[in-house]
Structure 1
Amino acid sequence: MIRSPLKISGSVPDLSSEPHDREYITQRKRKHSSEYQELMDIYTDRIMGKLTEWKTEIGKTNNEINEKLATLASTSQDLKSEINSMRKEFTTIKNSVQELTTKHGIIQKDLTELQQSVQFNGDQQSDMANRIQALSKDVQTVSTFKSELNEIRKENQILRSQLNANDQRDRLPNVEIIGIPEVKGENLYKILEKMCLYLEVPVSSSDIMEVNRVSSRTKLEGRPRVIIAKMRSRQLRDSMISRARRSRITTRDIDVQGDVKPVYVNEHLTPLNKNILKRTKEAAKTKNYQFTWTKNGRIFTRKNETTQAIQIITEEDLKKII
């Protein structure tokens, strides 16, 4: 019991290094046992003090260790949670990799098919290029033909206009009479003379060069054929037309039996001019033009009495009616 405390730590004072204590002990060996007991108590108190210090230090160390263990436990829990999260992410990544692998296979297949398709399209494109080159030559040929056709159309239009003008010029002395019923064995000269008599237009048998009934291109059921009379002069023709329009002559005025019907006396227009006159009347009616008439085979229209007359020669001129 006396020697053990002296071996606990190097921090215990070395009693042999103190001469005073060593002398004291030597002297006291011969003394009474009570003094020896007092010495033991002193050493015991010193040892107990050191033990208390060690216990305090060990307690502090234990507290620090416990705190570090608690921190370590918390960190371990966080690491565990993080590891679990990483495992989930790894599982997700693994699944994604599997999906990507599957998609890669599909894409690889699609790329192969696309490559084949591109090759096929390339072959078709090459064939198409050859066709386009051939078509280009055909288009150039067609373009040449088209230009020639346009020239031919222009020339044809000019020729038609010239023929129409010549035909209309030949018809200038003629009058066209519409609305007189046909009667078997009728005398058209007598009918024309009665008409001129009613209109107070002086006329003799020599003034009427020729008179005939003519079928129209579009024959209408129930309508009589028109009468075409060729007069000796345009002045005589104009007099008949102007007076017939003013008097509004009817079949009764010229002693024609049957129902009373209006009789119209007009210029003898060519089929082309008749069609243009019809189109002009339709356009003029749509645009609220008040006047449409013919003079010497030419067609005119005017919006009102204060506006300038517009001559319509071809169907293109109908665009002038605005």
Structure 2
Amino acid sequence: MRLLRVELGSVAKTMSSFKEELARLNTVVGNLTKKFEDIEVRLNVLETSNRDRTTSVPDDQQLSDLVTQLRVELNDREQEGLQNDIEIAGLDEKNGENPTHLVLSLATKLGYELEERDIVSAERIGSRRAYAASGERPRPRPIVVRMVRRAVRDAMIRAARVRRGTDSAGVMEGEPRRVYVNERLTPTNRNLFFKTREECRRAGWKHVWTRNGRIFTRKSDVTEIRRVRAISDLNKFFGTCNI
């Protein structure tokens, strides 16, 4: 009987130890749970803070870059709308003229068989220029021609490049003028092309040209070809653009 009491006492003592250990473990688990909860709260705060930073109002440079990017994309879309167009400069302007017939005559001189059905429209653009005070005749307004297909436009431009230096003799009466046939550019690209030519001339770069409405430049025959999409590219290639 006494032995039984001793064993029961030992069991009770062991159970008490288990209870104490269980209580301690519960405390530890509770502390760990609180720590995990604290960590989760901090992570949520950090994630929220990061989202706030990425969606907050951008700084001046970010805004400037975004505006430039949007302008470039808008200009690219506008240029795509001119993919069938050419611009002819140098043909004297006369009252009662027929621009379509002038274009056909020029194509014949360039050795390209262009037909009237290949032309959607042909017209002078811009305000008519007045004579200078010196009496010198004004530069004629360019003729913008829209072809039925881009392939026709490209063929006309290729013919003009093969016969680079062609003048208006045989195309129309009057003193011959040098005639230029180029793809039509948006006002933005036309201005950018002008500035690119000026910067290339100033820096001694050899080549600047357009292809499919895009502007390219090259320092020499062996250097890399660079595309110019905005004034920022000129600043990058040549330093600060002074034009």
TM-score normalised to structure 1 length: 0.50
Structure 2 residue identity aligned to 1:224 = P
More helix by proportion, 1 or 2? 1
1:253 corresponds in structure 2 to 170
2:224 corresponds in structure 1 to 308
Q: CA deviation at 1:196?
A: 1.2
Compare relative contact order (CA 8 Å, sep 6+) and give the higher one, 1 or 2: 2
1:189 corresponds in structure 2 to 100
User: Distance in 1 between the 2:131 and 2:83 partners?
Assistant: 26
User: Distance in 1 between the 2:157 and 2:192 partners?
Assistant: 20
Q: CA deviation at 1:287?
A: 1.8
User: Distance in 2 between the 1:259 and 1:217 partners?
Assistant: 19
* Seq. identity, %: 32
Within 5 A, what are the aligned runs for 1:1-322? 147=58, 153-215=64-126, 222-247=138-163, 248-254=165-171, 256-318=172-234, 319-321=236-238
Structure 2 residue identity aligned to 1:295 = R
CA contact (8 A) 2:107 2:156 kept: yes
After superposition, the C-alpha distances for 1:188-214 in whole angstroms (9 at most, x for unaligned) are: 111111111111222222210111110
What is the total number of aligned residue pairs between the two structures? 176
Pair 189,293 (structure 1): closer, same or farther in 2 beyond 3 Å? same
CA RMSD of aligned residues (A): 2.5
Structure 2 residue identity aligned to 1:239 = A
User: Distance in 1 between the 2:161 and 2:119 partners?
Assistant: 20
CA contact (8 A) 1:289 1:304 kept: yes
Structure 1 residue identity aligned to 2:195 = R
TM-score normalised to structure 2 length: 0.66
Determine helix, strand or coil for the equivalent of 1:276.
helix
Larger-Rg structure: 1
Structure 2 residue identity aligned to 1:253 = G
Structure 2 gap ranges (5+): 1-56, 133-137
Q: CA deviation at 1:249?
A: 1.6
User: Distance in 2 between the 1:218 and 1:153 partners?
Assistant: 37
User: Distance in 2 between the 1:304 and 1:237 partners?
Assistant: 28
2:39 corresponds in structure 1 to none
After superposition, the C-alpha distances for 1:219-275 in whole angstroms (9 at most, x for unaligned) are: 995111110000122222122222213322211131x11111111001101111111
1:56 corresponds in structure 2 to none
User: Distance in 2 between the 1:232 and 1:288 partners?
Assistant: 39
Pair 277,219 (structure 1): closer, same or farther in 2 beyond 3 Å? farther
